[in-house]
């Protein structure tokens, strides 16, 4: 594996200064930074190939189509999908989940059916199910949280019943850092005949993910959190399920034939990709997964495991600081916290003045904050290019924040 220094040199933005201080970028759960191979792949595409895909017979269009579809195949390999036909390009994780909610949910849910989600979901895995349950008359249920920020798996057997048609859950919480036992949860869903949708927005960028080993029916994730560009997400779906599902949106490219009397749909995966897709972005994500595979996802996970353990230790020593989520055992590279008597937005603003980027707010997971009786938290989130020195910078800055407010 490259040294940390070599890795950091691949990310031009990490060399910049903010307010006269070296940037300490700790907002990776919101979006990651992009390495040179991704920037170069997109620039080369626009300089040399730019054309629409699946439409032209001219050389540029054929090249663009080949590059776009090659990216799909690389992404399929990255998560060990059985076929590239199981990789649907969407705008982001949010749209991938909405695709399942509307295409599968509207056709399959009726009054008496249940959809099970959890109390630690991001809004994008709550609101689509609220909307679809309202439309279909199905009931939405939640697996509650334990005080340490894990799922109450002891209640799973009573919550998952033959009425449950879908269990949709996050693989790693963007607030608590909790890593859920995905394969176990998928198997529990399957035992009652339910499908399992995994929100992989925070897992696919940070750890090895093998959809066949997990047994997941659907997996949603976003390009921009894994070194790729914004504007692109992925829905993995098992082929036989996708084959049977209705299209999500109608328009160009998703059809085989359009007559005034009606239309027939294109084959997978294009049945779910209406209109001109995000071509440069798909090519960018192809370069991103090559970059991540080059580092090795086991190495990415190991680096973050060490870093977050250090961060939890170091931040626990800051007076009045309370970490949300598990503080021992396995945990992802996300540390959300409160500082007694200081609003998280003030914490983030003072840190920004020192060049340290963290996020403050409810992080699109209000139910978690409700559970802890708070309205917001500050959050540092790490990636493979962060260093122990940056954790020290954060801890020292937080100690100064404490002092300023105590004075």
What phi and psi values does residue 385 have, to the nearest 5 degrees?
-95, 0
Q: Which is nearer to ligand C6P, 64 or 280 (CB)?
A: 280
Tokens 């599968």 sit on residue = 104
* Nearest residue to 339 via CA among 274, 285, 404: 404
At 125, is the secondary structure helix, strand, or coil?
A: helix
Instruction: Compute the least distance from the CB of residue 353 to ligand C6P, in Å.
Output: 21
What phi and psi values does residue 42 have, to the nearest 5 degrees?
-75, -40
CB atoms within 10 A of CB 260: 5
Query: DSSP string spanning 257-315?
Result: EEETTEEEEPPTTGGG--SS--HHHHHHHHHHHHHHHHH-HHHHHHHHHHHHHHHHHHH
* Nearest residue to 203 via CA among 378, 29, 385: 29
Q: Which is nearer to ligand C6P, 67 or 118 (CB)?
A: 118
The length of the chain is 407
Instruction: Compute the least distance from the CB of residue 197 to ligand C6P, in Å.
Output: 12
Q: Which is nearer to ligand C6P, 164 or 203 (CB)?
A: 203
Instruction: Compute the least distance from the CB of residue 71 to ligand C6P, in Å.
Output: 18
Instruction: Compute the least distance from the CB of residue 299 to ligand C6P, in Å.
Output: 22
Footprint of ligand C6P (CB under 6 A): 29-30, 92-94, 122, 124, 170, 174, 199, 201-202, 222, 359, 363-364
Find out whether 128 and 98 touch, Cβ atoms under 8 Å: yes
CA atoms within 13 A on the CB side of 106: 11
DSSP state for residue 47 in the 8-state scheme: I
What phi and psi values does residue 63 have, to the nearest 5 degrees?
-65, -45
Q: Which is nearer to ligand C6P, 136 or 222 (CB)?
A: 222
Q: Which is nearer to ligand C6P, 41 or 170 (CB)?
A: 170
Q: Which is nearer to ligand C6P, 33 or 92 (CB)?
A: 92
Peptide bond into 11 cis (omega under 30): no
Question: In angstroms, what CA-CA distances link 234 with 87, 191, 208, 287?
Answer: 7, 27, 16, 15
Q: Which is nearer to ligand C6P, 23 or 30 (CB)?
A: 30
Find out whether 174 and 334 touch, Cβ atoms under 8 Å: yes
CA distance 76 to 74: 5
Instruction: Compute the least distance from the CB of residue 5 to ligand C6P, in Å.
Output: 27
Residue of 133, 227, 364, 393 marked active site: 364
Is 133 annotated in the active site?
no
CA distance 59 to 72: 20
Instruction: Compute the least distance from the CB of residue 297 to ligand C6P, in Å.
Output: 18
Instruction: Compute the least distance from the CB of residue 1 to ligand C6P, in Å.
Output: 26
Residues marked active site are found at 364
């Amino acid at each position: 594996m490259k040294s940390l220094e070599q890795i950091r040199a691949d990310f031009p933005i990490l060399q910049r200064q903010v307010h006269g201080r070296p940037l300490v970028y700790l907002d990776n759960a919101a979006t990651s930074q992009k390495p040179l191979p991704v920037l170069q792949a997109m620039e080369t595409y626009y300089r040399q190939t730019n054309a629409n895909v699946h439409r032209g017979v001219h050389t540029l269009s054929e090249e663009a189509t080949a590059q776009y579809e090659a990216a799909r195949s690389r992404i399929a390999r990255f998560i060990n999908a059985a076929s590239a036909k199981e990789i649907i390009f969407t705008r982001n994780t949010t749209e991938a989940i909405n695709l399942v909610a509307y295409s599968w949910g509207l056709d399959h849910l009726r009054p008496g059916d249940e959809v099970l989600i959890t109390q630690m979901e991001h809004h994008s895995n709550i609101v689509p199910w609220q909307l679809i349950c309202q439309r279909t008359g199905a009931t939405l249920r939640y697996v509650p949280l334990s005080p340490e920020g894990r799922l109450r798996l002891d209640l799973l057997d009573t919550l998952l019943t033959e009425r449950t048609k879908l269990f949709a859950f996050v693989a790693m919480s963007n607030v608590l850092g909790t890593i859920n036992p995905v394969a176990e949860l998928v198997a529990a869903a399957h035992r009652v005949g339910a499908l399992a949708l995994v929100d992989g927005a925070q897992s696919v960028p940070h750890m090895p993910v093998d959809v066949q080993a997990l047994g997941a029916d659907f997996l949603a994730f976003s390009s921009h959190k894994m070194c790729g560009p914004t504007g692109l997400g992925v829905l993995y779906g098992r082929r036989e399920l996708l084959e049977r599902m209705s299209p999500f949106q109608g328009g160009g490219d998703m059809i085989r034939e359009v007559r005034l009397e009606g239309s027939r749909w294109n084959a997978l995966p294009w049945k779910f990709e209406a209109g001109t897709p995000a071509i440069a972005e798909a090519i960018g994500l192809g370069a991103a997964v090559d970059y991540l595979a080059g580092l090795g996802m086991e190495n990415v996970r190991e680096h973050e495991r060490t870093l977050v353990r250090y961060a939890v230790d170091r931040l626990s020593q800051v007076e009045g600081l309370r970490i949300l989520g598990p503080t021992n055992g396995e945990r992802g590279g996300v540390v959300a916290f409160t500082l007694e008597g200081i609003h998280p937005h003030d914490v983030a603003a003072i840190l920004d003045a020192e060049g340290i980027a963290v996020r403050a707010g409810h992080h699109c997971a209000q139910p978690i904050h409700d559970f802890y009786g708070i309205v917001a938290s500050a959050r540092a989130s790490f990636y493979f290019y962060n260093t122990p020195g940056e954790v020290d910078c954060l801890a020292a800055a937080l100690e100064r924040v404490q002092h300023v407010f105590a004075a």
